Structure 1
Amino acid sequence: MSKTNAIQIRMGGYGPASTCFSKALVFIGDRLKAEFGDQVDIKYVWNIMEFGYRSEDILWLVESGVLSLGYQSSSYLTDRVPELGFVDLPFLFSSKDQARGAMDGALGSTLAQKIEDRVGYRIVGWLENGFRHISNRVRPVRSPQDLAGMTIRVLPSDVQVRTFELLGAQPLRWDLTEALAAIVAGKIDAQENPLANTVTYGAHKYHPFHTLTGHFYISRPIFICRAQFDSWPKPLQEAMRRAATDAVVFQRALAIEEELEARRAIDAEGCTVEELTLDEHANFERAVSPMLVEAEKAYGVSMLRSIRR
């Protein structure tokens, strides 16, 4: 089959080619090329922000078919799929194993179906963005009181806004593009991200104070333009699903090493890293405890109890 007749599969993201997310895309592409050869034509756009897009634009770029496949933190879809707010709840998971099991199991399947019911995607897996921590330019943070009055960028999720309101900060629902510019300009006090993201986007060069709160665990669905996916031959659809499943395992392993490398980079920058005691961590959980009552009303008691320890 000639290149002109090959099925075009364009994969995109919003980070450098060196990240575990970009490498997961390559994993998928290599698997498909090995199986289908010149029947497919794979292309990559590592970072759409380098072309003037906002990070959130990956959503419509894939839904409209400009890109075939992308990833994005699930929080960006909560306005269209309110059920995704459940996995934005603070301190929902106590370990990576618990979180991964939930996202690979019934919870992940339910949320994938909710997305497909409302958005023009096929969901083929959940990449790990991981546990998120706080960095800031003002002072060390070891208690919710230390966050009082700080402006902090959060993902576009009402649940995350509510979380940081309860913690005493002033949350700003900003796209990553806005947040990065504000951090460099010193116009925002704090941000929250996995350590790897904090380093990838350079926030540690402007924020000397870091606290390992682990307040949210966020996943990034791998989503495919439904119109394109559904038009593919069945063997290609099935191969894509298998490749994505294996890419998730591959990416999560890389993410562990990325986190260790990020911690080394933060230390090398001369930043302070606060590791909370159990009692200090419990203070953060208590501060957001009203959200449990709200969550039971919003999502149901059984759903919450099936996840929480």
Structure 2
Amino acid sequence: MADPIAIRMGGYGPPTTGFSRALKRIGDQLQAEFGSGVEIKYVWNIMDLGYRAEDILWLVEHGLLTLGYQSSSYLTDRVPELGIVDLPFLFVRMQFARAAMDGALGDVLARKIEERVNFRVLGWFENGFRHISNRLREVRAPAHLAGQRIRVLPSKVQARTFELLGAVPMPMDLTQAIAMITAGTIDAQENPLSNTVTYGVHKFHRFHTLSNHFYVSRPIFLHRASFDGWPADLRRAMQKAIRDAVAFQRDLHVQEEEEARKVIEAQGCEIVELTAAEHDAFAAAVMPLITEARATFGSGLLGLTAVGAA
């Protein structure tokens, strides 16, 4: 009797998050279909084992994990084209962003990742729209960010965005960011509300501005040699399970954002909802970056972001 195929899935959040629950959904589908032919194991949060969040990349690339996910920004140093989805105010509505990532834009970016990294990319989880939180003051205009030390993802595009907004961007891994936020050695951060709550940032930041400045996805990637070596029926089943899990996770994300807002308010924090004019002021401040992006990425790739925008 052949040994079962080992599938080790990992992430960097508690088992209660939508991402972890989506991994469990993938595993449950495979277990139901293949039974003793597969051995499914989970590492919900690699940070609990002393790893940094970004270590999920090499853990999968070298086959220590079979499947993982990570915000696309963490790969921009190796796959510069991913910087296009770090552009600020790129998508005006969630449905436009989802259509782009499930369509030609997501396909192109997945192939770019596979050209440079030992992955198979099979889908995109939704990290979603990101918002600014800080410990100092209410933020309703770029001027209110002046001089604030803000943690950003390791992306040149994101760092440039906050330079244009007057802040002092500090690209760093999540693990380091949590420690510095807790110690008060950085002033601000940006994340979906659900991440802000998951990592306890709302306990240290009083002010939360619903800025919707970035929409970030998390590619779902597998160790290429492992996936390519599986029987065809298992490969097809994994592809289907990931498609189902993406839809499941995105639905959960909407619920998690609503629940996180209630938690932040219950903590006594202030939530700032920008007026249309205030939002436009942020978008205007970063317009030079959009001009730069046309030269960097070209009109063809930029055009793929406009799905449904017309």
Question: Are 1:248 and 2:246 an aligned pair?
Answer: yes
TM-score, normalised to structure 2, is 0.98
RMSD (Å) for aligned C-alpha atoms: 0.8
Partner of 2:286: 288
Match of 2:225 among 205, 209, 227: 227
- Equivalent runs, 1:204-223 vs 2, <5 Å: 204-223=202-221
- Give, in whole Å, the separation in 2 of the partners of 1:295 and 1:200: 32
Aligned counterparts of 2:90 and 2:301: Cα–Cα separation in 1: 11
Q: Take 1:197 and 1:187, find their aligned partners in 2: how far apart are those partners?
A: 20
Q: How does 1:60-71 map to 2 (within 5 A)?
A: 60-71=58-69
> C-alpha offsets along residues 255-303 of structure 1, whole Å, 9 cap, x if unaligned?
1110000000000000000000000000000000001110100111243
Give how far 1:202 is off: 0.3
1:281 and 1:301 map into 2 onto residues whose CA distance is: 25
Report the alpha carbon displacement of residue 306 of structure 1 after superposing the two structures with TM: 4.3
* One-letter identity of the residue aligned with 2:218: R
Give the equivalent residue in structure 2 for 1:14. Answer: 12
Q: Matched residues, percent identical?
A: 64
**Secondary structure, aligned partner of 1:300:** helix
> What's the CA shift for 1:304?
2.2
Deviation by residue 1:59-107 (Cα, 9 ceiling, x = unmatched): 0000000000000000000000000000000000011100000000000
* Number of residue pairs matched by the alignment: 307
Aligned ranges 1:49-64 → 2 under 5 Å = 49-64=47-62
Q: Counterpart of 2:149?
A: 151
Q: Structure 1 pair 202/270, CA: closer, same or farther in 2 (3 Å)?
A: same
Q: Which whole-Å CA distance do the structure 2 matches of 1:160 and 1:306 have between them?
A: 20
The residue number in structure 2 matching 1:199 is 197
Residue of structure 1 aligned with 2:101, choices 98, 103, 127: 103
5+ residue gaps in structure 1? none
CA displacement 1:216-272 (0-9 Å, x = unmatched) = 000000000001101111110111001001100000001111000000000000000
**How many Å apart are 1:307 and its aligned residue?**
2.5
Residue of structure 2 aligned with 1:122, choices 120, 123, 127: 120
Does residue 180 of structure 1 match 2:178? Answer: yes
SS of equivalent to 2:68: strand
Q: Which residue of 2 aligns with 1:265?
A: 263
Structure 2 stretches of 5 or more lacking a match?
none
2:167 aligned residue (146, 166, 169): 169
